[in-house]
Structure 1
Amino acid sequence: MYVDMQIAVCYIYCQIIYQAGDDKMKASDLMHERSMALADCNNFFVSCERRVDNDLDHCPVIVLSSNDGCVISRSNEVKKMGVKMGDPYFKIRSMLASNGVAVRSTNMSLYQEISAEVMSRIKLYTDAVEIYSIDESFFNIGISNVKDPVSYCRTIKKDIWDKCRIPVSIGIAPTKTLCKLATEYGKKNEETGGVFWMDRARYMDMGFMSQFECADIWGIGRKISTKLDKSGIKTAADFIKKDEMWVKKTFGIMSLYTSWELKGHQAYALDTGGRPPKSIMVSRSFGNPITTYEEMLDPLLCFTVSAAKQLRKARQTTGKMSVFISTSRFDAEKFYANGRETTFIRPVSLDADLMSSAEKMLKEIFIPGYKYKKCGVILSNFSDISAGRQAALFEEENGGDEKKLRVASAVDSINREFKQGIIKPAALFEAPEHEKKWAPRSEFKSGGESKKDSPLPDGLRFQNHSEDFAS
């Protein structure tokens, strides 16, 4: 009985301390409230285009996806026109022209180069950085000698602008989910100067949290938010108030983690170790339809080599490989899609092994007479070889394979040094004047890149943001 009373008293005391506010928190609690920050480049692709072309600084700009298909980045002026993320270009071409909107094709090599510059500036100000995407990174701000985190982040923001000429917004919070909301708030509210601290006084204020819709919360998205809306849960405040066991039972453990993060309890720590991927997919739509087997084999092998390079960089081998091909989904009368997969008894990572398997699978699924618009390669079932490769019980000496792997790693290093595939399998070489039929269209591509843009979809991924879908 006495022990139960002690527990009850401790619980009540903790609740009082928790609700007391910032002015009564301990130093460790204050450090927790600014344990991490998120730097997010504003309209990143558009900002990159403006950096290499100053004439774009004072006019509306959009950047189109691969093959100039749809809008993937918009300047603030274009957002005010009502253009939404993902709008097909052919539907809004006339409207954009009448409003003097500058149009640019994706220039991924340029974006990756500028992204590397931005990330290197951030690393100068902290001891831990998690590069989340091509235009976002979480970083540690819980540094004891940083007395004013907002002022410190404003210094980072100014340095990135001065050195890279890329505008960024920075959100400070105790969790990644709150950092995301803080960054979005900083973008949309000019009085923040692009830097906002989501401290306890704010994320415990349900009036403040009610301005964030569930669809805009990192980890929820539109599919779950639709179900939440049917239950009367429309905002972050509504979600926070719901019983945690109900959230877990109804939407799963990941939604429960989101609930914890919105309450200031960290569920996702900074990942600075560069954990290996669970799978690798390389795919792309073609600039022009492909009709013959030989034309289809070329991009499939290119994508296979690209996937293999990413696999070796992660120090992994694959036990399973899948390929797929398809015609345009808009061609309902002659639509065809198919795929095959194969498993490897002994996991592999060499180009030759994967290319041979890809060619065999393509022969099984390719049917002449169709106009193919897409193909892709997926690698999965990885085995880590960063600490060495374990041989099977009855396996012969694999010294030859080890030598081949070292040669492949050396080739990868040379290609990275020269920033293009100067050494590659013979099957991928073509005459200098030969233009790949499947290469993406880029009618509005800017100059300014320092290296040849590859048709291979390598590099950091691009994340869509909640404000990109706002009207």
Structure 2
Amino acid sequence: MIGLVDANNFYVSCERVFQPKLEGRPVGVMSNNDGCVIARSTELKALDIPMGTPAFKLEGLRQRGEIHLLSSNYELYGDMSARLAQLLRDACPAVAPYSIDEMFVYLEGFTTAQCAALGQRLRQLIRRHLGLPVCVGLAPTHTLAKLANHLAKQDPRYQGVCLLNGQDHTTEALLKRTAVGSIWGVGHRLAERLAIGGVTTAWDLRESDKKQLRKGFSVVLARTALELRGTPCMEMNALEQPRQRIMTSRSFGQPTGVFAEVHNALRRHAQRSAEKLREQQSLARAVMVFLNTNRHRRDQLQYFPQALIPLPSPSDDTRVILDAVRQGLEQIYRPRYRFMKAGVMLLDLVDAEQHQLSLLHPPTRNRHPFLMATVDQINQRMGQGTISFGMTNAPAAWQLRCAHRSDRYTTRWDELMKVGTHPGATQACTSRTEPLP
């Protein structure tokens, strides 16, 4: 049996863990630079505020206190996601994170009753230890588990845990009323093509001929149909494959044409990309640097350059990558342009343990693996950016706007939650309790 544990309204729920006053209130989390709404509480959805609404259109509601808008706090969300994954690893035989708020758990050898009981226990543990509300979908396949999780969220009768056997009448009824476009991996355009052939529901897809699906569409869609029948076709390892490229990029808080500021932004992105590279135990053979002006400002000069810098040998050393970034920027920088976005991409990745050393670049004795490991450990423990290569000016133009960001409670010593009392609260508290003997 496979389970999918999905945190409800994850970004908003992370904020509410440390700000209980937001419980029951309309809350939205904004994108980078406080641009638009990318996460909504149930209460905000009830106000018919759609995803992607520009934040400036909601400023009146925010100022009147009718809604609460918060800047993205990805450091907090990432740490809460890591804690959720660790809790699941302690409670389940195997875990595969699928996204920041979704984790597959594998319950081989568990009976149906044991799976259902574990689903409820996981909800209680996560709520108690992390403060996050989650729903759990259980089924024989990944696709059905995804559908079961959706049902657990939508139907209160399941109390947050839905189990589908794959062959019973409950599963059949659910598939017959589920649009094919709602199935995991079936996009809008694919749903339109399927509808032409009369496949409009998940049940229609399940009953479709596998060979015809493979011939007319793809092997992936044929496997999806088998998964809907209760036949597992996805391996856990397929969900954990290392990325073939790693990219870090951000829009600037405001446009800038200053070389030093653009360089600082790229250095920040390069260091983060190098950390990701080491996390998946890979080496990069090349580094790409790119810049973008604001394509929406037709009154300004437009320029979208990129430079590819091959590395002397595959590396995960931040210093080597930073040197390549500097070379790339010097090639493409032009002082007359005002840039709005910059990014770094690590390409042609190879496994750090299996790559073949070049005879032209024999290994030299250096302590860079130990240095990089130490830097990563300190940054993981003390907060991202605690140790970095090079100085960065705090008020730099490239830094993101985040006027309404909450504190990074779990990763920054200087932003730990502070607990205190005021006279009114103390008096109210003592008036409701019996005096000590």
Fold shared by both chains (TM-score > 0.5): yes
Distance of aligned partners of 1:359 and 1:230 in 2 relative to their CA distance in 1, 3 Å threshold: farther
The answer to whether the aligner puts 1:439 opposite 2:399 as a matched pair is: yes
Equivalent pair of 2:207/2:225 in contact (CA under 8 Å)? no
- Is 2:397 the counterpart of 1:430? no
Check the 8 A contact 1:118/1:160 in 2, yes or no: yes
Q: State percent identity of aligned pairs.
A: 28
Within 1, Cα distance between the matches of 2:361 and 2:333?
36
2:221 to 252, 255, 264: 255
Instruction: Find 1:404's aligned residue among 368, 379, 387.
Output: 368
Asked whether the 8 Å contact 2:164–2:170 carries over to 1, the reply is no
* 8 Å contact kept, 1:38–1:180: yes
What is the CA–CA distance in structure 1 between the aligned matches of 2:227 and 2:187, rounded to whole Å?
15
| Range with bigger deviation, 362-371 or 435-444 | 362-371
Decide which moves more: 317-326 or 93-102. 93-102
Instruction: Give how far 1:369 is off.
Output: 2.8
TM-score if structure 2 supplies the norm length? 0.87
Q: 1:98 to 1:419 in 2, by over 3 A?
A: closer
Q: Corresponding residue for 1:414?
A: 378
Distance 1:331 1:228 in 2: 40
Shift of the 430–148 alpha-carbon distance from structure 1 to 2, 3 Å rule, reads: closer
Q: Which amino acid aligns with 2:56?
A: F
User: Residue type matched to 1:43 in 2?
Assistant: N
Q: CA deviation at 1:232?
A: 4.0
1:350 alignment partner, one of 317, 334, 355: 317
Matches of 1:237 and 1:406 in 2, distance apart?
55
User: 8 Å contact 2:167–2:230 — kept in the other structure?
Assistant: no
Counterpart of 1:151, as a letter, is A
CA offsets 1:50-89 (integer angstroms, 9 cap, x no match): 1111111121111111111111111111112222222222
Structure 1 residues 366, 223: CA separation in 2 closer, same or farther (over 3 Å shift)?
Answer: farther
The normalised TM-score by structure 1 is 0.81
Distance in 2 between residues matched to 1:396 and 1:49, nearest whole Å: 49
Letter paired with 1:405: P
**Aligned mate of 2:297, from 318, 331, 335:** 331
Deviations 1:143-190 (A, max 9, x none): 347743212211110111112111000000111111111101110000
Matches within 5 A, 1:305-384: 305-334=271-300, 335-344=302-311, 346-384=313-351
Shift of 1:267: 1.5
Provide closer, same or farther for how the CA distance between residues 302 and 447 of structure 1 changes in structure 2, counting only shifts above 3 A: closer
Aligned residues: 412
Are 1:136 and 2:98 counterparts? no
> How far apart, in 2, do the equivalents of 1:202 and 1:84 lie?
36
**For residues 102 and 126 of structure 1, what CA distance do their matches in structure 2 show?**
36
Pick closer, same or farther for the CA change 1:99–1:212 going to 2, 3 Å: farther
Unaligned runs of 5+ in 1: 1-34, 454-471
Q: Could you tell me how far 1:452 is from its partner in structure 2?
A: 4.2
Q: Alpha-carbon deviation of 1:273?
A: 9.4
Give 1:332 deviation, angstroms: 3.5
Unaligned runs of 5+ in 2: 414-437
100, 119, 138: which one pairs with 1:172?
A: 138
Contact kept, 8 Å, 2:144 with 2:166, in 1: the verdict is no
* Greater displacement, 371-380 / 331-340: 331-340
Report the CA distance shift for 1:273/1:215 in structure 2 as closer, same or farther (over 3 A). Answer: closer
